[in-house]
Chains A and B, each alone.
Chain A
């Protein structure tokens, strides 16, 4: 399956390599660099590249390329999924998945990669198991280790490996037992020129942070579970209970994890919390254009909309922009042609707007398309779909845990065409 892995940074340096079978020369990455050059944009590097003797499957995460070398037929998603799991694990261990973090912890990275794959086939990928095998680096532990001479590597088989709940480690102990759930919903929408919704749907996830001692058996129920149209589960969830009772019943992993992700059916009308009035025009045969956008709240369920940012990818011929915002601040990067307007909160009394002139390259034809606006926003304490957690029960342990649920709505891929 997976033969080798190369980590490559944005400037094209191979800064880590790991081989699970015979060594594959670094030169195999030349094919990758070639494809990268051809693609111009990092996003457009094809994830699967075929070379005379190998296949390269790569992902792009946090400004790093994870390039794996494959020799025989394997489902590409299998490899892609695994590479993302590797990146997630680094994130989990080092707090960030960056070149610096990986270089600083190269030994741990190597040990992790050794555990995660055996002969190219995934072995242990659950973070709870890995953490028992290889302890994440902390300042305290490195001090203790240097004094006592103990090591970061566990010497017994993690209990999870053998049980039917491989995701949870044994012997968890907390003085404060807590279980937090974040219901995060994102609105994906395409709004057309006239302001009508072309497409909108709600994508949600429930992220959990569980710090409970022992082997708690949780069940989480919703007020309105039927809202959830399409759900994907963390392996810990008992599928049958969900199917029969619409209750999420599970023995949770320890720590942070994604419990479910779901989609709310597209039939339900999605409330769009903001509207945008826009007037962007470029004059023929002149070197300027007008730019005017106003944002206002629409159906916001009485909550304030905050953290609004508008990003616009302006056409190439735009040289500069002279704008005045009534609220917030804006930046325009003349190189990438990105306009970013950071608004903050909307107050209904005074709607934020951004007006001004656009300088165009003189002589160049006017751009044919108006750029589309990408909008980010956040609404606290609201799940836009109306999903509500009913209750959380715990079985199997005696103590009373502290429970909390937080709702948040965000803009996902929210695009306004102009």
Chain B
């Protein structure tokens, strides 16, 4: 084996020189003949009957290909072995074929029959690999054969072969785009496939062949959403990206009304979050309830389905999947729910530096739009001296975007350490960042300016130059107070050599020459002396300065100005010559009256608006986040524009599929029954819990406030609790219950019958609850304080009661994934349903609800759900001393003191509702 590279190295370039002539060229005959012999030797090996020799020869050839050497002259010898029995030889022959078939089309045809035979093989691996190779050899003549093979494979028994067929579609399409219509038919067929194996590949094919045929997705939308969690990672990324686009065309914007009604929804939202994390969380609900009442927006259940089913994927190990979900939430979720993605994105910052690079680019864009989302993670963006420069600069960008009135002191303190870094590019970027903070946050402008002025005495010229440029921009905002700084800058002209900085200083002096009436002419004198040696941008500014001074102080500077202008007149650069001519005409009145020169002062010394220092990531979000185009900030080939939300939602019934329609109804039925007590159990992965683990006291009101400040990191997570619509609860509960049962079965702690009894009891309760909830709904969607209060009280009672009876953790939240398993027959190992004995499947009578009623109820419950108290269960958990939780089984009977505490912690919330 080790001989192979050496060998191929020897033959190297010579083989590429065109083999047929070797005999005719006497000069190089010897070299070529030896070369020819070598190939002969390989050919001989390939012609023998011994598999081991063939294999050896093929290995050498593949090694040549791997090094990028040309081995195309061996084609006839290799192609003969395509029918070889030895599977490894065969595979290597395939590798060779795929590489060279395009160049030797006629000879490649010899192999076709073998593949056609392979397509009929009983072994699915052979069928699949035959199709793979057949579709990979780019020979246009065989397009019809390929088409036929793909069509056949698309209805193969084996999902693996069907997957291969899906892969073959884009190959054929790139070979012959005329086949599009037929291929779309195949895609349509494969889209209906119910296996996870095929899903990712066919969506990939869809994206490459017919991304505009969004109508093909309708019928498969729900299935794709439900399958998503079981699809392999690569498929998930593709599907999520496609569904993002789909959702943008089919659903209404969840934020549309919000932006109309509230000028600054973000602020309101994050403000209210503070009190929400107290454990009872009325703050947000209070804010949300009237909001919800004001706007009749109802999220399409399918929209919700997508959001719910993608959310668990935020915890995927694959950075690509996390990013895909993050962009989906960013583009599709209601503002209040977008926060969940921050934590996952911050997690990716621990990954490889390339991943960091891409993630930070996206975070930079997001943080402009949704600053609040990342604020709790500010410190995760602090910079280490070991970070690569490109990462440092991106982190700096994010830090700058996140800076606001409250955190600016800490941010600036960080910046101070960065300024002394050894990495000069980074220091320059930091100075820019300080400048941006200073413009955005008026309070610290003076501090920043002082800091920057101090930097002017820095030893490094780049640092000084950068500071000058930034100071110039800052001074424009309030020039009157800063005569001193301008004087200081004027002195620097002797030392600073960086053209941009010199130009900036000159501009400043010219612009504010009234503030420095004495120094300005002197600077001009010096500059006139060195005019010829300056860079172009500096020369232009010297002309500007001269003109401005001439207009304000012509007595002292007339001669200097004339001198400068005549120097400029003969400059090499035509820009400067032009400018000089132009300026002269403007400021020196000529014979023809010179209407312009009368207004020269207005022209030159017009008050100019201060520049706005903006992030380079502003407005990048019109590209789909996470895409290549977004990263490059330019449209990449094949980029699919993310459409705007439609004004009117297209007909949602197109997504209805015959069978699941029934399940959907009944499902909603179930949901109605059980939703009330459980909503706040959803999600909140650890939002309320983490502080809980560490210190149980945080339940009590007084402490929680202080702990909240530090604990705001989690709150973004929590908020979605409230906004998660009720849809989830029903099946979550269902799942949760099953999970609980499963656990109990596993641990063998409680026997089945007992469990079932309880179940019946619980169901009764659920019915009662449903009634209460419905009655309250009838009263109106506006938050009726009294009813909700009483409800919450009864709920907590119930929950406590159940705590005592329930041995298990059924009530803890379950993932929102895969609500409906379209066909119960399909048992996935990831699904807990297969653990549940069929006898205890929760049954509920299907009720036919009219569509309008359903949506009405949906809307009502949306409002209602936001009145949820946050999870009392967590409180119980919190109160357990950590050492008590030796296993995951919660205490059967929470001690009465705990219950008491529970009550007291609940009371403030109900009180607030009343107010």
Contact = CB atoms under 8 A, between A and B. Distances in A.
B389 A41 contact: yes
Given A47-B354, A239-B830, A265-B713, A244 B739 contact: yes
B323 interface: yes
B694 interface: yes
A372 B385 contact: yes
B63 A107 contact: yes
A16 interface: yes
Contacts, number: 340
B813 A244 contact: yes
Interface string B638-677: 1110000000000000000000000000000000000000
Interface string A214-255: 000001010111111111111100111111111100010000
A154 B743 CA distance: 39
Interface string B804-844: 00000110111101000000000011111000000000000
Where chain A touches its partner, the secondary structure class is mixed
Interface in B557-573: none
B406 interface: no
B320 A78 contact: yes
A55 B636 contact: yes
B689 A223 contact: no
Given A243-B813, A266-B379, A223 B886 contact: yes
A93 to B, nearest CB: 15
A267 B886 contact: no
A105 B5 CA distance: 10
Interface string A275-315: 00000000000000000000000000000000000000101
Given A46-B390, A153-B88, A235-B233, A267 B174 contact: no
B315 A239 contact: yes
Interface residues of B, number: 140
Contacts of A188: 350
A81 B813 contact: no
A114 B686 CA distance: 42
Interface in A21-75: 21-23, 26, 41, 43-44, 46-48, 50, 55, 58-61, 70-75
- Of the candidates A74, A146, A198, A313, the one having the most CB atoms from chain B within 10 angstroms of its own CB is A74
A190 interface: yes
B421 interface: yes
A50 B830 contact: no
A82 interface: yes
B87 interface: yes
Interface stretch (B429-437, B587-595, B624-632, B760-768): B624-632
Contacts of A365: 459
Nearest to A268: B694
Contacts of B639: 73
A110 B95 contact: yes
Contacts of A165: 829
Interface in B175-205: 196-197, 201, 204
Contacts of A367: 422
Given A76-B628, A107-B62, A121-B201, A245 B743 contact: yes
B347 interface: yes
A161 B320 CA distance: 21
A80 B354 contact: yes
A413 interface: yes
Given A73-B640, A230-B344, A235 B316 contact: yes
A77 B320 contact: yes
Nearest to A314: B422
A161 B160 contact: yes
B832 A164 contact: no
B141 interface: no
Where chain B touches its partner, the secondary structure class is helix
Contacts of B232: 122, 125, 166, 235
Contact of B739 (A50, A78, A199, A245): A245
A15 interface: yes
A17 interface: yes
B352 A59 contact: yes
A172 interface: no
B91 interface: yes
Contacts of A199: 379-380, 382
A50 B832 CA distance: 46
B689 A119 contact: no
A72 B637 contact: yes
Given A81-B318, A230-B344, A245-B812, A251 B829 contact: yes
A123 B167 contact: yes
B736 interface: yes
Interface stretch (B13-21, B123-131, B256-264, B864-872): B123-131
A166 B828 CA distance: 12
B2 interface: yes
Given A164-B829, A247-B888, A226 B167 contact: no
B681 to A, nearest CB: 10
A127 interface: no
A240 B832 contact: yes
Contacts of B136: 118-119
Nearest to A114: B95
A390 B885 CA distance: 10
A26 B91 CA distance: 25
A372 B382 CA distance: 14
B326 to A, nearest CB: 10
Contacts of A9: none
Contacts of A243: 312, 685, 812-815
Interface in B767-818: 809-810, 812-815, 817
B693 interface: yes
A265 B743 contact: no
Contact of B422 (A26, A118, A267, A315): A315
Interface string A341-365: 0000000000000000000000001
A26 B323 CA distance: 31
A190 B95 contact: no
Contacts of A369: 420-422
A164 B826 CA distance: 11
B545 to A, nearest CB: 32
Interface in B332-379: 343-344, 346-347, 350, 352-355, 357-359, 379
A76 B628 CA distance: 6
Given A44-B388, A151-B86, A190-B382, A244 B812 contact: yes
A60 B94 CA distance: 30
A131 interface: no
B323 A77 contact: yes
A244 B390 CA distance: 41
A272 B589 CA distance: 75
B386 interface: yes
A311 B160 CA distance: 51
Interface stretch (B51-59, B288-296, B598-606): B51-59
Contacts of B66: 16-18, 106, 109-110
12 contacts: A1-B204, A16-B67, A44-B390, A114-B94, A118-B136, A119-B168, A151-B87, A151-B88, A156-B123, A224-B885, A227-B693, A365-B459
Given A77-B626, A240-B814, A368-B420, 18 more contacts: A16-B67, A18-B66, A48-B358, A55-B636, A61-B352, A75-B241, A77-B355, A107-B62, A125-B234, A146-B52, A165-B829, A226-B693, A233-B317, A239-B229, A265-B690, A267-B694, A372-B385, A415-B385
Interface of A: 1, 14-19, 21-23, 26, 41, 43-44, 46-48, 50, 55, 58-61, 70-78, 80-82, 84, 103-107, 109-111, 114, 118-119, 121-123, 125, 146, 149, 151-153, 155-157, 161-166, 188, 190, 192, 198-199, 201, 203, 219, 221, 223-235, 238-247, 251, 258, 261, 263, 265-268, 313, 315-316, 365, 367-369, 371-372, 374, 390-391, 393, 395, 413, 415, 417
* Interchain residue pairs A-B with the least CB separation, the first 8: A72-B638, A151-B88, A43-B388, A369-B420, A244-B739, A157-B125, A47-B354, A122-B234
